[in-house]
A = this chain, B = another copy of it.
Amino acid sequence: MTDPAHAPRPARGRPRKEGAEQRILEAALEEYAERGWSGFTMDAVARRAGVGKSTVYLRWSDKDSLLTDAVTTRSQDIEQVDTGSLRGDLERLAANLFRYLLDPAGWATLRMAMEAAIAPTPLGSFTEVVSGQHLGAASEIVQSHLEAGTLPTDAPVRTLVECLYGAVIVQTLSLAGDDRKLTDEDIEERVRPIVDLVLAPLAG
């Protein structure tokens, strides 16, 4: 079955390793989603990803660094928002967060932030990464609109972002099981009234 003539080992090694890395990061989020921080172990992640324990430890020394990478990789898409209008940007941002929270792995990151808030000892740097990445995306958008003059300087920016993100969190909280399978159109329809409301103070 193994035929060195077909593809030399060095060339095949890289993709396989990257595949394993991707599987480990996915497995870490799934494990976290099921077990939380206290029940999370590197062993279980290795088993779930179908790799040896040493493969996990080769790249990550502890669960904090592993979860930080897993969350960072998964959150990257949320930041790419530039539609040209304030309303468009906010709708896109809220829709991105919606999709993210309907994804079990994305949902796990919200649980991380919740666990961190009442942990008797700090859980690790991964929790700062989670909130930093989300709030960073919103701040960048808001900042660019303040500079462009499309957002007045006295706008209640912080409250606006809190209400926008919060309403999406509350909506995803009330969706369980099959109700969490929403189409992009469903999400846009749910997001629009939220953006209407948070932009209302700027209309007057």
User: In this complex, what residue of B is CB-closest to A130?
Assistant: B173
Is the C-beta of A34 less than 8 angstroms from some C-beta in chain B?
yes
Contacts of A111 in B (CB 8 A): 111, 114-115
**How many subunits of this chain does the assembly comprise?**
2
Most chain B Cβ neighbours within 10 Å, of A39, A173, A180: A173
Could you give, for residues 109-129 of chain A, a 1 whenever the CB lies within 8 Å of some chain B CB and a 0 otherwise? 011011111110010000000
Size bin of chain A's contact surface: 35 or more
Docked-complex contact B166 and A159, CB < 8 angstroms = no
Is A52 interfacial (CB-CB < 8 Å)?
no
**A39 CA / B37 CA spacing, docked (Å):** 11
User: Which residue on chain B has the smallest CB distance to residue A107?
Assistant: B118
Shortest CB distance A197–B (Å)? 5
Main secondary structure of the interface of A (DSSP, over half): helix
Contact string, A153-187, partner B, CB cutoff 8 A, digits 1/0? 00010111011111111111111110010000000
CB distance from A47 to the nearest CB of B (A): 17
Asked if A204 is at the interface of the complex by the 8 Å CB criterion, the answer is yes
From the candidates B36, B114, B167, B200, name the one contacting A166 in the complex (CB within 8 A).
B167
Say if the beta carbon of A25 comes within 8 Å of chain B: no
**Docked-complex contact B35 and A193, CB < 8 angstroms:** no
Q: Which residues in B have their C-beta under 8 angstroms from that of A204? A: 200, 203-204
B156/A166 in contact, CB under 8 A: no
CB contact between A114 and one of B114, B159, B167 (< 8 Å): that residue: B114
Asked if residues A168 and B167 are in contact (CB atoms below 8 Å), the reply is no
- Rank and list the top 4 A-B pairs by shortest CB-CB distance, nearest first: A166-B166, A163-B163, A200-B201, A162-B167
Given contacts A118-B180, A162-B171, A169-B169, 16 further A-B contacts (CB under 8 A): A34-B38, A38-B39, A107-B114, A107-B117, A111-B115, A114-B173, A117-B180, A122-B177, A131-B173, A156-B193, A156-B197, A159-B196, A162-B166, A163-B167, A166-B168, A200-B201
